[in-house]
Amino acid sequence: MTRTPCCERMGLKKGPWTAEEDQILVSHIQRYGHGNWRALPKQAGLLRCGKSCRLRWINYLRPDIKRGKFSKEEEDTILKLHGILGNRWSAIAASLPGRTDNEIKNFWHTHLKKRIQKSGVHNGNPSSRILQEAQANTSSNASSVMIANYGLPSRNINPPIAGFYGAVSSDTFGEIKDNHGSCQLSEEMEFWYNIYSSNQGKHHETMEI
């Protein structure tokens, strides 16, 4: 294998995309698809790296992108899922059709985070309701584990496990699970929900997966 990392390629353009570049990227993907992001810019005649093309397509040019303000339902969903999953933006985005992880991340940092901080929730923890549920559940050890784990790096498997074992009541999860319309449960959420359901009633430090 002798593949060169795309970042090492010299003379690639950076910064904001022009309308012309967008046009080239869109028409190329519409015609040939995006099987190989790394090869795409060369094939399309773009002086961008594959990563940049992918990001532009996913976050801005994709036809199914939903732009504009977040609805109240979407805000609620983000708050709830953030309470369960932490900063796993792609997982949250999977439950909001048409929204990208980048958009949700930006929205969180510019709107929701501030709102939560204003409402007096400590540690930057998300949904006040979820937190309240967690606090109401202080009789078990699991809840303290949960609170401590809220801010863990998003790629750890711990947050979802620790998070909803102590913090999320079956009601809350059911609410998310039963959500219809624009906020459907992703496969991952379904996965965690199933684990949660099968472990309900057990108060252990770890869940059985």
Partner DNA sequence: AATTTAGGCAACCGCCTGATG
Partner DNA sequence: GCATCAGGCGGTTGCCTAAAT
Residues interacting with DNA, by CB under 7 A?
1-7, 13-17, 35-38, 48, 50-52, 54-56, 59-60, 87-91, 101-103, 105-107, 109-111, 153-155
Both tokens of residue 45?
């005649």
154, 173, 150: which is closest to 162 by C-alpha?
150
Q: Between 91 and 145, name the residue whose CB sits nearer to DNA.
A: 91
CB of 201 to DNA, least distance (A): 30
The nearest distance, CB 67 to DNA, in angstroms, is: 7
Dihedral (Cα; 88, 4, 54, 27), 10-degree rounding: -170
Q: How far is the CB of 137 from DNA (least distance, A)?
A: 25
- Nearest-approach distance from CB 186 to DNA, in angstroms: 10
Q: List the one residue out of 30, 18, 21, 26 whose CA is nearest residue 57.
A: 26
* Smaller CB separation from DNA, 154 or 169: 154
Q: Is there a contact between 131 and 83 (Cβ–Cβ < 8 Å)?
A: yes
Query: Of the two residues 187 and 205, which places its CB atom closer to DNA in the complex?
Result: 187
| Lookup: tokens for 184 | 């459907």
